[in-house]
């Protein structure tokens, strides 16, 4: 089979081939020369006009906003269609959001289906909470009134200039750690009869984290047929701009012992969806785009079973999104993904989830930390070559996240905003607890937290923290308020001694600050976590990667746990 770039070259104008070659993928896309990775040749028209060819590449969206379907439950029963649309689009209007990916469900049909049980039927329409009742019954009421909420979203999106995709969670598991031997008696939202009848079609606790034992085993042909039927019906619900296959909800699809070797079966389903999208594109005379959400590193993609090289070579997707399985994973290998898609019109988006995974033990309000951290991370994504941002689980109304949704969608609007640039932090849930294992393939190259031990050569751990703002330039212009290096240590005693080097130069004594001391409502002056703070000169935080090394010189023997480096961060403030 010809590669994507080979097939693409066959449909370009001869004048484009004889002119100077485009030297970068970004330049390639900006010229609108790409084809929708299957859409153009699926239409069977190799003599398309320039305008037609430009239209088959998804436009740059700035921000893709993934809605998990929650707006169906944001109004009391019976929700009107206008109420639903208002709740859905309230966070998106007049922001940098160019596309909305709307989750149409997980296991049961949220539409009238002849083959798939409708949501609520398995529970005889009696639910575990008023929240679930509102969600499912509001959908059913719309359908009973003859309304199509999905086409209504597409139409409202077009009025607002927002593309609308159906989002499919490929293996969602909100079954609360349900084990296979408990299937027969389980009554909960999302637990379908087909899963109850076929526990042997699920991974089980031996081949997936225990919490995800009930996840489908995609190696089973019947499972893939079942999921493909669901996807086909969802794709037919409306005149969508495309479909997203959210493989990261949740990223346990194959037996752990064999996932890499069995990756061809995930490709089988991915290929079937692309073929269906091409059929729809042919029928309606315009592209039906395919987006995929995958893990943030190529190693994790291989571990899970995402054969990206084949997906790219065969043109099985138009948009690749890298996102964590559990909250935001800032360790996205942008450069490696860009190398894979070089020479193709595929666009690459970097993902944000609901927030920081684990507890952050720094100073100040968590809300302010989260926002500054997102801005710093987004600035880095843009500088490193991302084509856009993707946000997931950012539940919001017209006010909740408007600041971020009007900033992170372009590098320009992030300029002169307060930011935190941090070492990648890898938090892992305790075995046996809720969502244990969800983070198994996330943040795998995280440098914090790390325990400090004495070493034979007096060399401690190093932390690589990039600064993506031109700090020195802003300082010269009088626009910089200040920049700090902050290191958060757990179990610190005043008797401990550490040495900190920044880019090979030893730093002086820091200010030692405690969040409790700075909280007017907390009576304590000290806490288990201490923040070591250095005020830096602009020249110490220039744009680029910085190496911070920490060496334990003396440990207080009265404290049994080792000293732990929890966070290493640059705080850049303009306001």
CATH number for the domain harbouring residue 48: 3.20.20.80
pLDDT of 43 > 60? The answer is no
- Interaxial angle between packed helices 263-284 and 221-235, expressed in degrees from 0 to 180 and rounded to the nearest 10: 30
Please indicate, yes or no, whether residues 71 and 173 belong to a single structural domain of this protein.
yes
Q: Report whether 90 contacts 397 (CB < 8 A).
A: yes
Mean pLDDT of 377-396: 98
Q: Report whether 552 contacts 460 (CB < 8 A).
A: yes
Full residue range of the structural domain in which residue 467 is found: 450-573
With b for 16 or more beta-carbon neighbours within 10 A and e for fewer, the 101-118 pattern comes to bbbbbbbbbbbeeeebeb
Mean pLDDT of 74-85: 98
Q: Is residue 7 part of a domain?
A: no
pLDDT tens, 442-498?
A: 999 999 999 999 999 999 999 999 999 999 999 999 999 999 999 999 999 999 999
Please indicate, yes or no, whether residues 475 and 359 belong to a single structural domain of this protein.
no
Please indicate, yes or no, whether residues 477 and 391 belong to a single structural domain of this protein.
no
Q: Nearest-CA neighbor of 254 among 234, 268, 271, 243? A: 268
pLDDT of 427 > 70? The answer is yes
The radius of gyration of the chain's CA atoms, rounded to the nearest angstrom, is 25
Q: Is residue 215 part of a domain?
A: yes
Q: Is residue 436 part of a domain?
A: no
Please indicate, yes or no, whether residues 475 and 405 belong to a single structural domain of this protein.
no
Which residues, including other chains, have CB under 8 Å from residue 114's CB and lie 6 or more apart? none
Length of the chain: 575
* Separation between Cα atoms, residue 233 and residue 482, nearest integer Å: 55
pLDDT of 205 > 80? The answer is yes
Please indicate, yes or no, whether residues 229 and 347 belong to a single structural domain of this protein.
yes
Please indicate, yes or no, whether residues 322 and 238 belong to a single structural domain of this protein.
yes
Q: Count of domains in the chain? A: 2
Measured CA distances, 85 to 106, 131, 151 (Å): 21, 18, 11
pLDDT of 538 > 90? The answer is yes
Annotate 128-196 with DSSP letters as a single string: SSHHHHHHHHHHHHHHHTT--HHHHHHHHHHHHT-EEEEEEETT---STT--GGGGGG---TT--HHHH
What pLDDT is attached to residue 469?
98
pLDDT tens, 543-563?
A: 999 999 999 999 999 999 999
Q: Is residue 105 part of a domain?
A: yes
Backbone angles phi, psi at 21, to 5 degrees: -75, 145
pLDDT of 515 > 60? The answer is yes
Supply 25's token pair: 């993928």
Supply 553's token pair: 């010189």
Q: Is residue 22 part of a domain?
A: no
pLDDT tens, 332-354?
A: 999 999 999 999 999 999 999 99
Across the chain, mean pLDDT equals 91
Measured CA distances, 112 to 101, 121, 234 (Å): 21, 12, 11
Supply 548's token pair: 């911070």
pLDDT tens, 185-194?
A: 999 999 999 9
What pLDDT is attached to residue 57?
86
Please indicate, yes or no, whether residues 512 and 457 belong to a single structural domain of this protein.
yes
Q: Is residue 428 part of a domain?
A: no
pLDDT of 20 > 70? The answer is no
Q: Is residue 427 part of a domain?
A: no
* Cβ neighbours of 454 (radius 10 Å): 11
Q: Is residue 15 part of a domain?
A: no
* Separation between Cα atoms, residue 573 and residue 282, nearest integer Å: 52
Please indicate, yes or no, whether residues 375 and 498 belong to a single structural domain of this protein.
no
Please indicate, yes or no, whether residues 508 and 390 belong to a single structural domain of this protein.
no
Please indicate, yes or no, whether residues 206 and 143 belong to a single structural domain of this protein.
yes
Q: What's 541's domain CATH number?
A: 2.60.40
What pLDDT is attached to residue 295?
98
Q: Which helix (H) or strand (E) holds 452?
A: strand 450-452
Please indicate, yes or no, whether residues 370 and 456 belong to a single structural domain of this protein.
no
Please indicate, yes or no, whether residues 101 and 235 belong to a single structural domain of this protein.
yes
């Amino acid at each position: 089979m010809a590669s994507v770039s080979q097939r693409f070259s066959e449909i370009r104008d001869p004048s484009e081939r004889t002119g100077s070659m485009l030297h970068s993928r970004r330049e390639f896309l900006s010229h609108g020369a790409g084809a929708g990775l299957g859409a153009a040749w699926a239409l069977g028209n190799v003599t398309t006009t320039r305008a037609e060819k430009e239209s088959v590449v998804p436009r740059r969206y700035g921000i893709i906003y993934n809605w998990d379907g929650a707006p169906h439950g944001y109004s009391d029963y019976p929700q009107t269609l206008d109420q639903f649309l208002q709740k859905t689009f309230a966070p998106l209007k007049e922001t940098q959001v160019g596309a909305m990916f709307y989750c149409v469900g997980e296991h049961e049909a949220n539409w009238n289906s002849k083959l798939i049980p409708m949501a609520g039927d398995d529970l005889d329409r009696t639910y575990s909470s008023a929240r679930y009742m509102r969600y499912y019954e509001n959908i059913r009421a719309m359908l009973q009134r003859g309304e199509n909420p999905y086409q209504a979203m597409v139409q409202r999106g077009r009025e607002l200039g927002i593309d609308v995709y159906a989002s499919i969670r490929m293996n969602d598991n909100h079954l609360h750690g349900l084990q296979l031997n408990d299937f027969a008696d389980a009554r909960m939202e999302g637990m379908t009869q087909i899963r109850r009848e076929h526990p042997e079609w699920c991974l089980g606790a031996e081949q997936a984290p225990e919490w995800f034992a009930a996840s489908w085993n995609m190696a089973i042909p019947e499972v893939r047929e079942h999921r493909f039927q669901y996807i086909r019906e969802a794709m037919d619900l409306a005149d969508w701009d495309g479909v997203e296959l959210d493989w990261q909800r949740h990223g346990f699809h194959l037996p752990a012992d064999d996932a890499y070797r069995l990756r061809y079966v995930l490709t089988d389903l991915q290929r079937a969806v692309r073929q269906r999208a091409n059929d729809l594109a042919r029928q309606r005379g315009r592209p039906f785009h395919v987006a995929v959400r995958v893990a943030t590193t190529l190693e994790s993609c291989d571990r899970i079973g995402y054969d990206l090289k084949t997906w790219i070579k065969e043109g099985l997707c138009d948009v690749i999104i890298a996102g964590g399985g559990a909250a935001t994973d800032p360790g996205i290998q942008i450069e490696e993904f860009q190398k894979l898609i070089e020479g193709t019109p595929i666009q690459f988006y970097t993902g944000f989830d609901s927030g920081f995974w684990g507890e952050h033990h720094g100073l100040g309000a968590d809300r302010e930390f989260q926002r500054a951290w997102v801005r710093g991370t987004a600035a880095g994504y843009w500088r490193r070559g991302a084509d856009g941002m993707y946000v997931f689980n950012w539940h919001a109304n017209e006010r909740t996240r408007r600041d971020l949704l009007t900033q992170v969608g372009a590098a320009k609007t992030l300029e002169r905003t307060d930011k935190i640039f941090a070492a990648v932090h890898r938090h892992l849930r305790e075995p046996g607890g809720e969502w244990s294992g969800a983070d198994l393939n996330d943040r795998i190259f995280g440098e914090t937290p790390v325990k400090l031990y004495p070493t034979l050569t007096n060399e401690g751990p190093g932390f690589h923290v990039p600064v993506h703002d031109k700090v020195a330039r802003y300082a010269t212009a009088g626009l910089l308020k200040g920049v700090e290096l902050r290191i958060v240590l757990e179990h610190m005693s005043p008797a401990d001694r550490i040495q900190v080097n920044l880019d090979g130069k030893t730093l002086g004594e820091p200010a030692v600050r405690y969040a409790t001391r700075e909280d007017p409502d907390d009576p304590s002056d000290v806490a288990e976590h201490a923040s070591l703070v250095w005020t830096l000169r602009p020249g110490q935080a220039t744009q680029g990667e910085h190496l911070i090394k920490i060496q334990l010189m003396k440990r207080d023997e009265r404290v049994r746990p080792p000293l732990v480096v929890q966070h290493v961060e640059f705080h850049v403030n303009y306001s």
